[in-house]
């Protein structure tokens, strides 16, 4: 009788542990991929199988480094053990801390110098305001090492395919773009639409990049860095069709020749699936907006943060883009004319899924918009009283981030 009880207990114990012990390797790897480094390390201590999973090369193809305190430097050990396996890396840091900046640059440097280099995607994200007079030269030097020609001791299994510097709040120069163009011809996605005060990327160097990176299919940059010639280069027969183009428009556009309607026609003809995002910040002059908004642009995302009266501009949008527009963000001074044009836009925009309107609206207008757009995924629709309460939040840096963020 005792033997039966013992066997029964063993059977129950195996039944409880069995599902975990017998999980297929690929399922374990997938579970581990959702854990941060600390949790992943603790899970690896559970049993031999989980410890072996921790060292699985495919688990280390993608990793996000977080640097917010000095103790986060322990993550650098991952580079010693698994640096040669890393393909997709994101580095997130609070750049106010010197230790954080040093650790982030150490990651970039060691990725560049990895003897067996497989890195394909790199993303760098600053999370706070920059320190006073911070120019970020240590980051630019590290990126020059990563984007430049590899050392003789480095075996390049892959070139960079995706570069996202949109949250790197320092100026990116022509020399950086030239290194990318010369050494990473397989580049497919580039986002250099960051929060620096000025754009230092010239039209000549952007054209050079488009000509050399023939697989480039997504580009986020500043309007002043793009030219008619760059559009024509995208349209060349051996160039991959452009799928997504995001252009941030600022005060500098008054010194820049606007992209012509003819150039847009050439680009659109060669890239039938093109989706375009235009972002206007508070520094741009209103009349410049009208020169930039050509009717044939396949505009899916539009952000206008001028803080001035925009009913004429919203009227243009309602006339040109109601069939393609999916995302509309506006920071403006409200008026009856503005509300009229906004209603004309939303009533004719069947694909609109995001609408953020940072100005006071009356309750009747808000109710009508919700009735016309029942499937909005995101929205900001406030009355004048509500908006006055929240304006302290959105008129500052948060508003700029909301409007100038990419997709």
Q: How confident is the model at residue 91 (pLDDT cuts 50, 70, 90)?
A: very high
Q: Which among 36, 56, 76 is the end of a domain?
A: 56
Would the pLDDT of 244 be above 90? yes
- Identify the pLDDT of residue 227: 96
162-167 and 121-126 beta bridge pairing? parallel
Higher pLDDT: 166 or 133? It is 166
User: Tokens 């009856």 — which residue?
Assistant: 336
Q: Which among 13, 32, 56 is the end of a domain?
A: 56
Mean per-residue pLDDT over the chain, rounded: 86
Cα separation of 338 and 344, whole Å? 10
Would the pLDDT of 379 be above 80? yes
- Has residue 18 been placed in a domain? yes
- Identify the pLDDT of residue 251: 79
Question: 202-206, 211-215, 394-398: which has the minimum mean pLDDT?
Answer: 394-398
- Has residue 20 been placed in a domain? yes
Q: How confident is the model at residue 306 (pLDDT cuts 50, 70, 90)?
A: confident
Q: Which among 26, 56, 86 is the end of a domain?
A: 56
* pLDDT, tens digit (0-9, with 9 covering 90-100), for 282-292: 888 888 898 99
Cα separation of 364 and 194, whole Å? 38
- Has residue 11 been placed in a domain? yes
**Percent of the residues in the chain that have a pLDDT greater than 70, as a whole number:** 82
Three-state DSSP class for residue 67: strand
Cα separation of 259 and 288, whole Å? 12
Domain that holds residue 310: 274-407
- Has residue 87 been placed in a domain? no
Cα separation of 124 and 113, whole Å? 18
Where residue 344 sits, what CATH number does that domain have? 3.80.10.10
Higher pLDDT: 383 or 355? It is 355
Nearest partner of 346 among 361, 290, 333, judged by Cα: 361
Cα separation of 390 and 373, whole Å? 23
Nearest partner of 128 among 67, 37, 172, judged by Cα: 67
Q: How confident is the model at residue 380 (pLDDT cuts 50, 70, 90)?
A: very high
The vertex-126 CA angle with 179 and 395, nearest 5°, equals: 120
Q: How confident is the model at residue 405 (pLDDT cuts 50, 70, 90)?
A: very low
DSSP string for residues in 191-236: E-----SS-B--HHHHHHHHHH-TT--EEEEEGGG--HHHHHHHTS
- Identify the pLDDT of residue 404: 43
User: Tokens 């001074």 — which residue?
Assistant: 333
- Compute how many other C-beta atoms are within 10 angstroms of the C-beta atom of residue 322: 17
Looking at residue 328, the DSSP 8-state letter turns out to be E
Cα separation of 147 and 69, whole Å? 27
* pLDDT, tens digit (0-9, with 9 covering 90-100), for 127-142: 998 888 888 999 999 9
Would the pLDDT of 14 be above 70? no
Half-sphere exposure of 259 (CA within 13 A, CB side): 27
Instruction: Let me know how long the chain is.
Output: 407
Would the pLDDT of 376 be above 90? yes
Would the pLDDT of 78 be above 90? no
- Identify the pLDDT of residue 406: 38
- Identify the pLDDT of residue 154: 95
- Has residue 17 been placed in a domain? yes
- Identify the pLDDT of residue 1: 45
pTM of the model: 0.86
- The domain tally of the chain equals 2
Would the pLDDT of 297 be above 90? yes
Report the pLDDT averaged over residues 311-324: 95
Report the pLDDT averaged over residues 66-92: 91
* pLDDT, tens digit (0-9, with 9 covering 90-100), for 248-282: 998 776 667 889 999 999 999 999 999 999 999 88
Would the pLDDT of 352 be above 70? yes
User: Tokens 């000549």 — which residue?
Assistant: 204
- Identify the pLDDT of residue 81: 83
* pLDDT, tens digit (0-9, with 9 covering 90-100), for 18-77: 556 667 766 776 776 777 766 776 766 667 767 666 766 667 788 999 999 998 998 998
């Amino acid at each position: 009788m005792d033997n039966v009880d013992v066997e029964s207990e063993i059977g129950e114990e195996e039944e409880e542990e069995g599902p975990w012990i017998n999980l297929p390797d690929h399922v374990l790897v997938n579970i581990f991929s959702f854990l941060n480094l600390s949790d992943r390390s603790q899970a690896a201590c559970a049993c031999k199988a989980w410890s072996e999973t921790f060292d699985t090369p495919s688990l280390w193809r993608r990793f996000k480094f977080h640097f917010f305190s000095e103790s986060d430097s322990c993550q650098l050990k991952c580079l010693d053990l698994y640096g040669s396996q890393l393909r997709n890396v994101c580095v997130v840091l609070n750049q106010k801390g010197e230790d954080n900046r040093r650790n982030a640059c150490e990651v970039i440097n060691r990725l560049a110098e990895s003897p067996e280099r497989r890195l394909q995607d790199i993303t760098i994200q600053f999370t706070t305001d920059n320190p006073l007079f911070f120019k970020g030269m240590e980051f630019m030097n590290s990126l020059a090492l990563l984007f430049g020609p590899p050392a003789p001791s480095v075996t390049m299994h892959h070139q960079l395919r995706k570069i996202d510097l949109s949250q790197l709040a320092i100026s990116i120069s022509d020399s950086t773009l030239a290194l990318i163009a010369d050494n990473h011809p397989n580049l497919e996605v580039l986002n250099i639409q960051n929060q620096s005060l000025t754009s230092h990327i010239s039209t000549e160097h952007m054209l050079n990049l488009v000509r050399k990176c023939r697989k480039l299919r997504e580009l986020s940059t500043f309007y002043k860095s793009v030219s008619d010639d760059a559009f024509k280069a995208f349209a060349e027969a051996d160039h991959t069709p452009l799928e997504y183009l995001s252009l941030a428009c600022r005060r500098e556009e008054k010194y820049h020749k606007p992209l012509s309607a003819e150039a847009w026609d050439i680009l659109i003809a060669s890239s039938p699936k093109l989706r375009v995002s235009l972002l206007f910040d508070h520094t741009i002059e209103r009349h410049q907006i009208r020169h930039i908004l050509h009717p044939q642009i396949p505009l899916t995302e539009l952000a206008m943060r001028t803080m001035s009266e925009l009913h004429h501009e919203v009227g243009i949008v309602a006339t040109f883009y109601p069939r393609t527009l999916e995302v509309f963000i506006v920071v403006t001074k409200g008026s009856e004319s503005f509300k009229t044009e906004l209603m004309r836009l939303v009533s004719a925009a069947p694909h609109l899924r995001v609408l953020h309107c940072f100005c006071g609206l009356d309750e009747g207008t808000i109710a009508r918009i919700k009735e016309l757009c029942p499937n909005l995924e995101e929205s900001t629709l406030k009355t004048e009283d509500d908006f006055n309460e929240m304006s302290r939040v959105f008129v500052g840096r948060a508003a700029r981030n909301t409007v100038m963020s990419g997709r």
